[in-house]
A and B are shown apart, each in its own frame.
Chain A
Amino acid sequence: MKLKKNIATSGEGFIFNPGTGDSFSTNEIGAEIITLLKEEKSVAEITQLISGKYDVDASQFENDLDDFAAQLKDYSILE
């Protein structure tokens, strides 16, 4: 999973895709995942970090992450 390199993020969870002109908002966990993606973390690393920090089991999170990634892809935020 790789973020497009020119994707702009702000502290408040806003995302701007300069390629398409679209803006997005995310919740806290969404913003955190995008930050981790920026740092080029792998899916396994992200899963480990999030399920370590939040009250969620790894399989549930993987399921949610898949869904999230599908949307990011849909919105042309992922490569």
Chain B
Amino acid sequence: MEKLRYERPIIKKMNTGLMNKFGTRTEYEPVTHIESVPVKSLIKEYGSPLFVLSEKQIRRNYQNATRIFKTRYPKVQFAWSYKTNYMNAVCQVFHQEGSWAEVVSGFEYEKALGNGVPGNKIIFNGPDKTDEQLVAAARNNSLIHIDHYDELYSLIKLSEEHNLRPRVAIRINMDTGIYPKWDRFGFNFENGQAWNAITRIINSTNLDLVGLHCHIGTFMLAPSAYGIAAKNLCELTWSIKEKYNKVLEYIDLGGGFPSENTLKGAYLPGSDTVPSIDQFADAITDVILGYGFKQEDLPLLILETGRALIDDAGFLLGSVLATKRLSDGRRATVLDFGVNSLFTAFWYDHKVSPAQAFGNHTEEMVLYGPLCMNIDIVRESITMPLLEKGNHLVVHKVGAYNMTQWMQFITLRPNIVMIDTDNKTHVIRKAETLEYLELNEQVPEHLKQNPLK
């Protein structure tokens, strides 16, 4: 006789308060496939944990965002934010779609060059650019976005010394009514610092002011804040034309559009509350189009959208290492990935789905990572079907920041695979090995003897 499917026995106290289940229906659907590739076979072939990216989804996101902006405004250019995910394969998908590169360090700058991005299509942002990097960027005709006065004066000096004419913009910070106000980057709009910097650049013989840049924050939930930012940049652009008869080529509104992840502490899930890209596009383009520029003077609108274009194209697959009961009676599930791989677990209550069919019963649990560290928590509280050792899980919307901010801590970082548009899988970054990690280590001669041997 064939045996019946087993499920471990559970008992739940009927709560007079919070309820976790509604009859025999649970809110979780198993996610057995990414695109049309079975989770089971992905893990079998590439191991667990495993990052999976969907090329199809990345392209869909990009095409959708460009369509939304281009149907509202005639001149739009996206620049891929390298820090969000600088796996070369990912960058190349964006470049193939027509995206420029937006980098914030010499390392990222070289990566963009290595990916074949022409220098004049690289935007160099951030407070950290060495003299050598500034000279190289100027020679390549890249767009250098100046962050502070020290950088402005270095660049003036360097361009005189090397006889260069760098194309520059300044980064501007401002009060758009949101919290926290990002005033640590760039020049302030309200107190006139930005205008002073603009004047200084225009009066310099070597710098060519071609645009204005701002980046008002991250995971922004208020489209109206972008409207304010666009208005301020338009105002400066207009004044520059009035006062110096100079027409700027572009305004760059930076990044910051949110993905549908749910921020910790939020009451409603992100999928319901996050504004759509259409709403941001309306807020921005209404302002620029309504500002009164002549058609030929309309600036190119540059966007450095990162998270919103990649987050939902990334998945983290993993496995249950153990289940246990904590001293207060709560169920705890230990997974083979933690905050080391899933860095964004610090900010989000990630959606986690089981990757196999399950029974009707659910329990509330903590999801722990495998690190021997108390902070290693994937979800503080989540209602899931009964999980057992060896079960697989899928974490959703992990495409942004994880593959760049992950930590090589205690254990090695896993494979990243990309599922292409024909549903073929490719490893785009191999799992790390001990050898790889020790490649740059050096042990002084006198420490090479180990007496325990």
Contact = CB atoms under 8 A, between A and B. Distances in A.
Do A and B come from the same complex? Answer: yes
Interface of A: 15, 22-30, 33, 52-56, 61, 64-65, 67-68, 70-72, 74-75, 77
Interface of B: 3-14, 325, 329, 359-361, 386
A66 B387 CA distance: 17
Given A54-B3, A56-B6, A75 B11 contact: yes
A59 to B, nearest CB: 12
Contact of B3 (A26, A55, A64, A74): A55
Contacts of A64: 8-9
Nearest to B21: A25
Nearest to B323: A67
A70 B10 CA distance: 11
A64 B7 CA distance: 10
Nearest to B331: A67
20 contacts: A15-B11, A22-B13, A23-B14, A24-B11, A25-B12, A27-B10, A27-B361, A29-B9, A30-B11, A53-B3, A54-B3, A56-B6, A64-B8, A64-B9, A70-B325, A71-B10, A71-B325, A72-B11, A75-B11, A77-B11
Given A15-B11, A29-B9, 17 more contacts: A22-B14, A24-B12, A24-B13, A24-B14, A25-B11, A26-B9, A27-B359, A29-B6, A30-B9, A55-B4, A56-B6, A61-B6, A67-B8, A68-B8, A68-B9, A71-B11, A75-B11
Contacts of A29: 6-9
A27 B7 contact: yes
A33 B7 CA distance: 12
A70 B330 CA distance: 12
A64 B387 CA distance: 12
A75 B6 contact: no
Given A53-B4, A55-B3, A70-B325, A23 B13 contact: yes
Given A67-B325, A70-B325, A71-B329, A26 B4 contact: no
Indicate the member of B7, B359, B360 with the most A CB atoms within 10 Å. B7
Contacts of A65: 9
Contacts of A61: 6
A30 B10 contact: yes
B11 A54 contact: no
Contacts of A26: 9-12
Contacts of A77: 11
Contacts of B12: 24-26
Contacts of A15: 11
The 3 nearest A-B residue pairs measured at CB = A30-B9, A56-B6, A54-B6
Contacts of B13: 22-24, 75
Contacts of B10: 26-27, 30, 68, 71
A56 B5 CA distance: 8
A78 B325 CA distance: 18
B239 to A, nearest CB: 69
Nearest to B3: A55
Nearest to B324: A67
A29 B360 CA distance: 12
B7 A28 contact: yes
B330 to A, nearest CB: 11
B4 A27 contact: no
Nearest to A32: B9
A67 B11 CA distance: 10
Nearest to B14: A23
A68 B11 contact: yes
Nearest to A74: B329
B13 to A, nearest CB: 6
Given A27-B361, A70-B325, A71-B329, A54 B14 contact: no
A3 B6 CA distance: 23
